[in-house]
Structures are given as structure tokens and as C-alpha cells.
Chain A
Amino acid sequence: MKKRILIMFTVIFTMNIYAQKTHLDYKVHDVGQVRQLVTNMGTLWRAGTDYPGLIYSEFPRGSFEEHIGEGGIWIGAINESTGDTTVSVTTSWNSNFEFYPTAEPWDSIWVVHKNDTVDIPYWHKYVGISDQDFVCRYSDDNLSNIPSHKPLHVEVIQTSYAWASPPLDQMIVYNFYIIPKKVNLRKAYIAYWLDANVGYRGTSWDFALDDYSVYYKDKHMGMGIDNPGGADGNAVSPIAMKIFPPKNILADSIRWTFNWYPGQGMGAPPSDDVLRYKQMAAGVIMEDQQDPIGSQFIIAFGPFNINVGDTLHFQVGEILGHGVNGVLANLKILDWLVQKNFKVPSPPPVPPLRVQTMNHQVILSWKPQDGDVNPETYFDPNRGDSVSQPFEGYRLYKSTQSISGPWTLLGEYDIANDGYGNETGLQHEYVDKGLLNNFEYYYSVTAFSKEDKSINFPSQESSIFANAKTVVPGTEPPQTVGEVAVVPNPYRGDIAYYSYNPPWEKPQITRSTWMEQDRRIQFINLPANCVIKIYSLAGDYIFTINHNNPNKGYEDWNLTSYVGQAVSSGIYLFTVEDLSTKQVQVGKFVIIK
């Protein structure tokens, strides 16, 4: 662990020096039930990017259950020019990061939706396959100052797929295109390295120290499983990685290796390239891990001879589910999906949702208008039946907790008298009344399709999350200052404001526990353009809030000073200066904690 920390520090230090030579990027797959981080360094964890979150692979969505500590490929080969045996590593224990994008601004992670066409400089006319494709590129020779690194001069184009609807929303698919640029690769082996950390992501690392590794030989799938109990309780899902080897190579000629490492000082990937290559090429399937002290493994396959100008293409499926049986059920679906080359029915386009806020109510409208993508007329070439317009209906959802749910179905409206769905009839507007002003509410409208009875594929629903909107009912900003007030007054530390439904206070999205900085008082009846300054009773300056929004008449404050420290109980003064009229209102409020 010390060595790992030292390497990490070295890498981060190096990163800061040579940051101008690479354009790091990250994106999170978030349309389905898996929230998965992807970077353009080829890793499934933050690596050298500035991704601010704590969880890299969350399933079920919003559960704070983590599954990945590290994930990424290794490419080992004999460099035909030099005769060296080297391994280029995206991520691993005992290794530097060796794959980076270029510094070009477009060398980031491209987001492409199903059937959209985009012109990526290294992939012209790329067509989206899934509901959310990510496309990126990295190579092992973009940075020349990586310690102990001998590049193979290999470029990797990576695409990843995520789907919004069952039965595909519990998996991610990764495509890897391995492209030698300068030297031919001899006896190349690919390894997928997964450091599985399965369990509720609390504040310590204990959740990662009770996992174990299992391999399904006939499926070429490794699984990291959480041992029940322990610091992280019982995990909903293990995490599995399945390799789909290159299609144009005889299966018999591929040698497979499954090697797991217990960690905790009892075994880790070697730092030496030759030793690492030997492990990748060993052709040994280790027995499943028995002691649940940590799950880290590689699935390696090869050998391949890849010449300059050739491309080696393989796929990796990341599979989650409810328990091992859930993963195995999803694996069947994934196999079928890959066999069909991902040509499966898709959900309708996301409906155009328009929201109008009023005093204590919200009007939601989703009737397609000119210029909108119309889900009611979409055509799906991948259906097995002959239905030319597979749109069936809409569903309206509401949440009072967060834009990630949990969602309550407010209404379902489908085409009447067509033999599918509930025959409720279509509707395009909904008025939600009796709401609290200045509280956040969340709404989403989805469109769903008819089920495909020919291939027995369920109705597909567009992503709730892709269309989710935050709505705050309330009144228009007043003309100027004079009626500005503070809510709640007095602010009472004995009331659990976070237990309101909808909550008045809530933890930041990256946490599940309320903390001092989540406190909230609100200045209401603010004019459109004003500055609020908060002072202690004696006139010490505490904080400034700038407000410039003609549609919103309030601002929040979390009871911390401009140095980020919690303020004490007592009487506070505030001024609100209307920047349009220069009028100033002076007021007061009380905080009790």
C-alpha cells in the first residue's frame, strides 16, 4: 500500500508537470441502473482526472453501493522492432498510468445517442449504438516522460454502451479497438484488470476488504463478490466482467488466463513488465478465491499478432444484477445482445417536457411541437415485428427527494384501443397543485414502446433520468426590495428539516449523511437583480449572495461564513441592495442551533 501511494503521488506530480500534453476527461454513464465512471485514460476509476465523486460504479442507482476500485486493460506484446517484451498498462497496482489522450480539445469523451451520427476526427460518421455511447481514444506514447515505460506505440479506441430500459439497463458494454501505429506486435496478450470493491461506500476502506474473486471458465467471465456481513453489510450485486474475444480469430487458438490477487500484502501484480507479461500469457486458470479479503483479478487472452494497419477488436461486458443469479440472468441477455450485434428494439425518443411554474402549482406539458423530436412517430428498424410506429404511450413521474429519484408514477397515458398497454388514451398535460413554494420538486416524462411479441422483447421506456427536471413553484420576483424575508425565522437547530417530504435540507449529492453545511435558510421575495450581505449583530461581515435571475425570487444560504465556518446562534442582520434601483432593505433574523 505504501508503494502504491508513492507511485500514485509520483504520477499525480508528473501529471501536474506535463498536464499541457494531454486532455483528460471523464463522463458517467447515467441513463440506466448502473452509474459508471469512464475516463479517456482507459480507466473505470478517476485515475488522473479530477472526477469529484467517491463512487465509480454504483448499482443499484442511488444506493451508494460501490463495485469498482480500478478497472482497465493491459496490452502486453513483443515489440518486433526492438525484441523487448513490454506491457502497457491503463491502470494497475504497481504501475504508472501509461495510456493518455492527446492534448487536442476534441480528444475527450464523445457522447452519442442511439442512431445519431457524429463526425469524430478518428472515427468519421460514427453512429450511436446504445442509448448512451461514450467514445474516446488513448495511446501509450502520448506522454514521453512516464518512468520505466517503453511504449508499444499502440492506440486504443474505446466505446462504451449503456441502455435506459430493462432488460439492458443493468450492464455496460465496452468495445476496444487495439491499433498498433509504429511497430508490429508479436504474441500480444490482452488482460482486463479489475480491482472489485463491492459494498456500501461508507467512510472507510473496510468495505473493500471482504470481497473475493470467482471465474466462470466456459463464459470467460470473472466476478468480484462481496462476502455477506462485515463493515458494509450485504451487497445487492456482485460485479462481473465478461470477455468477448475477437470474432475473426479461431477460439481454439486463444489461450485464457485467470489470475486473482488477494492484496493486503499477500499478492499483487508485478511491477516488472516481463513478469507481468508472463502472468498474462501463463494460460493458467486459478481456482476460485476462498478467503474473502479483497477481489482483484485479471482475465487475459491471446496470443495475437497485430501488424501496423491492423485493428484488434474485442468487447468486455460489465454485468451487475440482483445477486449472482441476477448477474447470470443478465449475462444471458448480454450474450443474446452481442450475438444480435446490438440490433435490438429501442425506446422512443425522450418526450419534450415543458414546465411552467406558478404559485403553489406546476403545469407540465409534453405535446410535441414544431422542431421537437416526436416520440409518437418514431420508427425502429430493429424490431422483430412489422409494427411501423411502435410508440405506445407516456408515463409521468414525480419525486420529492432528488433528481435521481425515488420516482412515483403520477400517470400513464397510452394509445386507446390498439391492443397494447392499458388503453387509457393519450394525454399531453398535467397540472400538479397544492405544492409548497420554493421547495424543489422533480418531474420526468418518458415515452414507452409497444412490446415486441415477435422476439419476445419487452416494452422499452426512454430514460427517466434523461428527461428529469427540477421544478420550484413560487411567485415572480417583486419589483424591488422591501418585502425580503428570511425563512425559516427563527432557524431552529432542534428541527430535523431534512426529514420533511420534500426535504427542506438535504445532503449534497455525493453524500448520504446530513452535515453542518447542508443547513438552509432562504431569502424570499428577492427582486431580479440584487446583492444580499449578511452580518453579525455587531456588524461583522459574514457572507454575500449575488442574485441575478428574473424568474426566481429566492436564494439559499447554508449558515456558513465566507471562510466556510459554521456561524453561531444569535441575531443576524442582512442588507439587500436592489442593483437596478439602488434601494437597500435592512433586515434581521434569528439562528438557534
Chain B
Amino acid sequence: MIHRGIIIFIMIPLLTYAQYQRPGSTDAQFLKIGVSPRGTAMGDAYISVVEGAEATYYNAAELPWIKGTDIVFNHNFWFAGINHDFVAATHSFEELGTFGLSVTALYTDEMKVRTPLQPDGTGETFYAGNYRFGLSYARFFTDRVTIGATISYINLSLYKDFKADAVSVDIATMYTSDFRGFKFAMAITNFGSNVKFVNESYPLPTAFTFGASINAIENENQKVILSFSALKPNDGKPLSQVGIEWNFHNQFFARGGYKINYDVATFTFGGGVKFSISNINTRFDYSYSSFGLLGVAHRIGIGINLE
């Protein structure tokens, strides 16, 4: 605990004074968009709260705590006709550790090709898509500390003949305590190669994230989780998030969150239900995220767990 406190102490001034802004200077921006309706409902203060296969995206160090097999399907109605999907599966191998596979896909609707000579359209249309294929692995480091990593292949297709790819690594760790479910987690995400289409090369949106969560209320019928996280992206100012989840009988969930220091994202909320059918644990989640003039992002997800 002392060492962890020292780390936090050292980290605070670093995050506070790193104010250099470089908006739009990194590529593959879809890697910065939250994929989980549960996570985004909590303002993306999710790194230490994440459960199930979504951990392959948010914090691979959570994977060892998953029992059996977990599968998740999430859909995000992003802006301007853009669709954003996330599919992941994890499985626990007793002594070997836990593995996960994940696919993130973001793709536009059909767009008109416009040129300066034909600004109303050449008659041609095109789509743009961003994809990520991830392989995750995690294991216990001690009985309370877990460590995980995800290696990803990223493919960006913006127009015919204009594709680029990159390889990235996420590394994460998490500490789980017995005290009111307190968890602390840290991760470095999207650390990898640059992206180049024609002449210009741009880095991936690497970020350092840490967060903590605790069961503020915990009794037989309900549980309230409070969570906080902060991240330092390589293309902007430090950001932080706070989230809350209310759990009733482990069947009904209500969630809320707020994003601090973001340009347009502010409050979020959502809910979910969980039930069991023929020994298959199933969960449905929904979230609402406000993005100012851009509008509102709605996310829905379905997940199953087979023990």
C-alpha cells in the first residue's frame, strides 16, 4: 500500500501540469471511443470496474477473475451515420491463464465522393472503416494482483486504395482488495507503430490510465459502486471520469457518470438487467452519452457467461 500511495503521489503533479494540447494529431481515433454500454454509462470510469469480455478493451488485467467463458456483443450508434461495434470472447484455462479475443469495428454509412471540380458529387460513393483485432492474455501475479496485455492489429480503410495498418500493445495491472471490493488499476493503451497513408505518418492515441473503485454501499439486496479514473492521452490534456452504479438484487442496474475536462462529452447514464436462462447468465445494457452539439451516443450490449 505504501508503494502504491507513493506512485499516486508522484503521478498527480505529472498529470496536473501536462497541459500540452495537440488535437487531431493522432490517428485511429476510434481507439479512444468507449465500446461498453455499462462502461460509458459510468462515464468510462471503468478501468477498475470492468467485468467480462469487455476487459479485453478496457483492462485485460481483469480477465483472470472471469470464470469459464464470457462473450459480449456491443453496438454504438455514433454520430453522422457511423456505426461502432465490439465483439469479444474470453475463456479461462485453469493453470495457463485467461485468453481473450476481441474485434472492434467502426464504419461509416455510404458517402458521396466530392471533388473540387465536382462538388455536388462525382456519382461515386465510398465507405470508410476502422478495425481492431485483439488477442489478450492475463494471469494472476499474486492472489490479489493481476497483470494482462492485449496485442492488437489495427486496420484503417479510408477509401479504395487508401489503407493503413498498425500494431499496438496494451498493458494493464489491477489490485483487488477485500475491503469493500476496493480495486485499483493502471494501464497503458494503444502503444504501437505509426500510421501512414500517403506521405504523412501519425502516432496512435496512446494513453496512460489509472482508476479506482469501491463498493460504497453493500448489503443483501443492493450494492452501490463508486468509481473514478484519470488518463493522460498523448494528444491532449489530462482527462478524468467519475461513475456510479446501483445494483438491485444483482438483477437490475442503474448507472450514471460524468466526464471531466473533455471538449464536448459531459454526463452519461444508463441501465441494465441481468438474468439466467438454462444456466446461461445473460445481461443487457444500455447507455446514453451527451456530446454537446454533436448530439447523443446510444449504446446497447448483450453479454453471456458460461461457467
Interface residue ranges, A against B (CB under 8 Å): 436-439, 485-490, 492-494, 497, 500, 504, 522, 524, 533, 535-542, 561-563, 565-573, 575, 577, 584, 586-590, 592-593
Contact = CB atoms under 8 A, between A and B. Distances in A.
Interface in B3-29: 21-29
Contacts of B200: 493, 566, 568-569, 593
A577 B117 CA distance: 27
Interface string B80-120: 11100000000000000000000000101001111111010
B14 to A, nearest CB: 21
Given A541-B264, A571-B29, A586-B79, A536 B199 contact: no
B27 to A, nearest CB: 5
Contacts of A540: 23-24, 29, 32, 235-236, 263
What 3 pairs between A and B have smallest CB-CB spacing?
A567-B24, A541-B263, A568-B202
A526 B128 CA distance: 25
B141 interface: no
A482 to B, nearest CB: 13
Nearest to A483: B120
B2 interface: no
B24 A437 contact: no
A487 B22 contact: no
B158 A490 contact: yes
B231 interface: no
Interface string B254-269: 0000000011110000
B173 interface: no
B235 to A, nearest CB: 7
B33 interface: yes
Contacts of A500: 116-117
A569 B263 contact: no
28 contacts: A436-B116, A437-B119, A439-B116, A485-B119, A487-B114, A489-B111, A489-B112, A489-B114, A492-B159, A493-B199, A504-B116, A538-B30, A538-B32, A539-B262, A540-B263, A541-B264, A542-B23, A561-B23, A565-B23, A568-B200, A569-B195, A569-B198, A569-B202, A571-B108, A573-B80, A586-B79, A590-B111, A592-B197
B162 interface: yes
A563 B262 contact: no
Contacts, number: 162
B293 interface: yes
B21 to A, nearest CB: 6
Contacts of A522: 116, 119
Contacts of B158: 490, 569-571, 590, 592
A492 to B, nearest CB: 8
B164 interface: yes
Contacts of B27: 568-570
A592 B24 contact: no
B108 A588 contact: yes
B156 interface: yes
A524 B111 CA distance: 15
Nearest to A488: B115
B29 A570 contact: yes
Contacts of B116: 436, 438-439, 487-488, 497, 500, 504, 522
Contact of B24 (A568, A577, A589): A568
Contacts of B28: 570
A438 B79 contact: no
Contacts of B81: 588
Nearest to A591: B158
B130 interface: yes
A537 B30 contact: yes
A566 B25 CA distance: 7
B291 interface: yes
Contacts of B68: none
Given A535-B264, A541-B264, A584-B293, A570 B156 contact: yes
Given A488-B116, A537-B29, 12 more contacts: A438-B119, A489-B114, A492-B159, A500-B116, A536-B23, A537-B130, A538-B205, A565-B22, A567-B25, A573-B294, A584-B295, A590-B111
A563 B113 CA distance: 29
Contact of A565 (B25, B82, B130, B199): B25
Contacts of B21: 563
Nearest to A486: B114
A539 B162 contact: no
Interface string B122-148: 000010101000000000000000000
Nearest to A502: B116
Nearest to A562: B23
Nearest to A585: B80
A296 B183 CA distance: 76
Given A486-B114, A487-B115, A562-B23, A593 B197 contact: yes
B172 to A, nearest CB: 20
Contact of A536 (B24, B106, B111, B130): B24
B126 A490 contact: yes
A533 B292 CA distance: 11
Contacts of A589: 111
Interface string B195-220: 10111101001000000000000000
A490 B124 CA distance: 11
B80 A536 contact: no
Given A569-B202, A570-B27, A587-B80, A490 B32 contact: no
Contacts of A572: 24
B160 to A, nearest CB: 10
B25 A571 contact: no
Nearest to A489: B114
A480 to B, nearest CB: 15
B61 to A, nearest CB: 24
Contact of A590 (B26, B159, B262): B159
Nearest to B162: A592
Given A487-B119, A569-B195, A588-B111, A536 B162 contact: no
A450 B82 CA distance: 67
Contacts of B263: 535, 539-541
A488 B114 contact: yes
A126 to B, nearest CB: 48
